[in-house]
Amino acid sequence: MHVALDGFNALPAADAESGLLACCASRRWAAGVAAGRPYADAEALCSASDALLDALDWADVEEALAAHPRIGERARGTGREASWSRGEQSGMDAAEVAVRESLAAGNRRYEERFGHVFLICATGLGAGDMLAALEERLGNDAAAEREVVREELGKIVRLRLDKMLRGS
């Protein structure tokens, strides 16, 4: 769904929410962003998004996380969210086998420790950068990691909102 801001503001609520779910799979977030329309500009949309993300219960964040593939695993499907995810993880394309294996093992340790997928805004990062961040974050306690996850989710959502508005 390619929409500029004016088009997004004019969509029926259900269509706006549907499009927003490709940016963030939290239904509460999507409903809140859609309900906040009309937005004067993209920054107002992003500011509202940020505020809503900050207000999400952890269960809502976990709902969003469930839509993200593990780092190093390609998103399946033909939808916009899967396509965006594959592009965001393009830094994995040239990863050596040893790095891929280390990421897979790190993902398993992370999920055992924290109970959800390792989330990082992978845009512009190489596989080694992602692996280093994963290893560093394994040292976080649960509260600190939840804050990092919220920050990373916010970065991803901002990028995806921009893509949605640009029709990318």
Q: Are 23 and 3 in contact (CB under 8 A)?
A: no
Res. 33 pLDDT band, cuts 50 70 90:
very high
The answer, yes or no, to whether residue 78 has pLDDT greater than 80, is no
- Give the catalytic positions in this structure: 68
Euclidean distance between CA atoms 36 and 32, whole angstroms: 6
Q: Are 22 and 164 in contact (CB under 8 A)?
A: yes
pLDDT digits (tens, 9 = 90+) for 43-67: 999 999 999 999 999 999 999 999 8
User: Phi and psi for 56 in degrees, rounded to 5?
Assistant: -65, 140
Q: Are 50 and 32 in contact (CB under 8 A)?
A: no
Mean pLDDT rounded to a whole number for the chain = 87
Instruction: Provide the 8-state DSSP code for 75.
Output: P
Q: What is the pLDDT of residue 126?
A: 84
pTM of the model: 0.86
CA 102, chain centre distance (Å): 22
